[in-house]
A and B are shown apart, each in its own frame.
Chain A
Amino acid sequence: MGHLAGGGVSTATQARAPVVTRAYRDAIPVVLAYAPFGLALGATLAATRISPLIAWSSSPLLFSGAAQLLAVQLLGAGTSAGVVVLGALVVNARMLLYGAALAPYTAAWPGRWRWLGAYLLIDPVYALAASRFQGPDSGTARDRLRYYLAAGIILWTAWMALTAAGMLLGGVLPTSLPLDRIAPLTFLLLLLPMLTSQPAYAAAATGGLVAVVTSGLPLGLGLLAGAAAGIAVGGYLAGRRG
Chain B
Amino acid sequence: MAELLTLAVIGAGTYAMRAAFLVTARHQPPAPVRRLLPYIGPAVLAAIALPAFVAPHGSVSFTGTVPGLLAAVVAWMAWRCAKHNLPIALFGGLAAWWLTSWALCAA
Contact = CB atoms under 8 A, between A and B. Distances in A.
B85 interface: yes
A172 B64 CA distance: 27
Interface string A87-129: 0110011111111111110110001001101110101001100
Contacts of B79: 189, 192
B38 A101 contact: yes
Interface of B: 2-11, 13-15, 17-23, 25-29, 32-56, 58, 68, 71-72, 75-76, 79, 84-87, 89-90, 93-94, 97-98
Given A97-B40, A200-B39, A106 B22 contact: yes
Given A194-B45, A200-B38, A104 B50 contact: no
A198 to B, nearest CB: 11
Given A29-B87, A226-B46, A117 B14 contact: no
A178 B89 CA distance: 16
B72 to A, nearest CB: 6
Given A88-B10, A184-B52, A195-B42, A119 B15 contact: yes
B72 A222 contact: no
Contacts, number: 280
Contact of A235 (B10, B39, B48, B52): B39
Contact of A119 (B18, B43, B44, B53): B18
Select the residue from A66, A101, A180, A222 with max chain B CB neighbours within 10 A: A101
Contacts of A106: 22, 25
